[in-house]
Amino acid sequence: KPPKPGNLGPANPRNGMITEFWQIDGFESEVNIYNPGGGVSMIGLHGFGGSARTFSKLVPHLPEGVTLYSISLPWHGKTKCNDDHAKLSLYSYAESLAGIISGLPTGKAHLLAHSFGARICSVMAIRHPEACGNLFYIAPGGFYPPEDFMFALTKYWPFSALLKSDFFLKPYVWFLNPG
């Protein structure tokens, strides 16, 4: 859960960062809060291989008064994950993200996303437009229709065998393919 207004701690210098862990979709998610205490909220979601630090180089270029809540997705950064794959779905994460935004001091957030983070933000924005300000996408990706070649390959050996046995790849494929 995001902190309540006033519980962000002492004012930090511009570009200061606080790291917290919030419960998002059943995962203890790493959240880096840049410029805490600003009057405008922005959520940052990275792509595969990124983390809550993905947007750190952009922070000096944010307008004054913008607080960036940059979140590490499951199995990324310092997010602590459990083995409950039932909760690992695109739609479930988007719903949890909407809940997080409703608990922010502003109750609404601009969305900054890279690659697969843009897919999650898009689903959330479609389902909860009242929670979204502007959408800022950097090289958006992860927009795969079910007939996409990548998922067609998962039916055939060796890909089918890999999905059944590979601890590393299996959670990502489940997260990518919500159906």
Q: Residue 14 and residue 173: Cα distance in Å, rounded?
A: 38
- Polymer length in residues for the chain: 179
Instruction: Round to whole Å and give the CA distance between 113 and 143.
Output: 13
Which residue ranges in the chain fall short of pLDDT 50? 1, 3-14, 147, 166, 168, 176-179
Pairing of strands 40-45, 27-34: unpaired
* Model pTM above 0.85: no
Beta-carbon count within 10 A of 23 CB: 12
Bridging pattern class, strands 17-24 and 27-34: antiparallel
